[in-house]
């Protein structure tokens, strides 16, 4: 039959938490501020000492990603290597601050820069091989 809830299961033994700490009104009455409306700052999540809430240092992760993508598009190693250096610097900053919003961008910039450098090296090997083949065949 559709729309009816499943039957309630009756547990023969208490849960691990209830067995350890107890259960019932005597336990729940020990909770501070039971039945009171919490004040404004009462339920804030604590953060590491010295950190302001929502503050993260700025990074150049976006610029590193732009330079890395330009390395693939046509500028090759001329922009991929600076993009890789900037991505590594941004990753050092983001790894020191857990939850930093630029961590994914910096990692993407690093990956794209390495792919761009790899493609440039493959292109150099290809043209070098073609030069050797033409030199050996005597057509150069």
Mean pLDDT of 58-87: 94
User: Phi and psi at residue 38, in whole multiples of 5°?
Assistant: -65, 150
pLDDT at 44: 47
pLDDT at residue 109 above 80?
A: yes
Q: What are the structure tokens assigned to 60, written together?
A: 């150049």
DSSP type of residue 140: -
pLDDT at 97: 87
| DSSP secondary structure of 86-139 | HHHHHHHHHHHSTT-TTHHHHHHHHHHHHHHHHHHHHHHHHHHHHHHHHHHHT-
pLDDT at residue 37 above 60?
A: no
Task: For residue 85, give the nearest of 120, 60, 104, 58 by alpha carbon.
Answer: 60
* Residue 68 banded pLDDT, cuts 50, 70, 90: very high
pLDDT at residue 78 above 50?
A: yes
> pLDDT: is 34 or 14 the higher one?
14
Q: In the chain, what percentage of residues exceed pLDDT 70?
A: 63
* Residue 3 banded pLDDT, cuts 50, 70, 90: confident
Task: For residue 90, give the nearest of 61, 119, 133, 110 by alpha carbon.
Answer: 61
| pLDDT per residue as tens digits for the range 11-20 | 566 666 666 6
Task: For residue 109, give the nearest of 93, 88, 89, 87 by alpha carbon.
Answer: 87
53-74 burial, b if ≥16 CB within 10 A, otherwise e? Answer: eeeeeebbbebbbbbbbbbbee
The pTM score is 0.59
């Amino acid at each position: 039959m559709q729309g009816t809830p499943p039957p309630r299961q009756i547990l023969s033994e208490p849960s691990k938490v209830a067995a350890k700490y107890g259960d019932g009104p005597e336990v729940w009455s020990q909770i501070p501020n039971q039945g009171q409306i919490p004040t404004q700052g009462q339920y804030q999540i604590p953060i590491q000492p010295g950190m302001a809430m929502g503050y993260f240092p700025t990074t150049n992760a976006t610029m590193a990603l732009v330079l890395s993508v330009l390395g693939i598009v046509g500028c090759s190693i001329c922009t991929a290597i600076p993009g890789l250096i900037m991505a590594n610097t941004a990753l050092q900053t983001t790894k020191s601050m857990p939850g930093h919003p630029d961590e994914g961008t910096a990692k993407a910039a690093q990956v794209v820069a390495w792919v761009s450098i790899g493609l440039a090296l493959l292109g150099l090997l290809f043209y070098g091989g073609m030069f050797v083949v033409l030199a050996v065949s005597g057509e150069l």
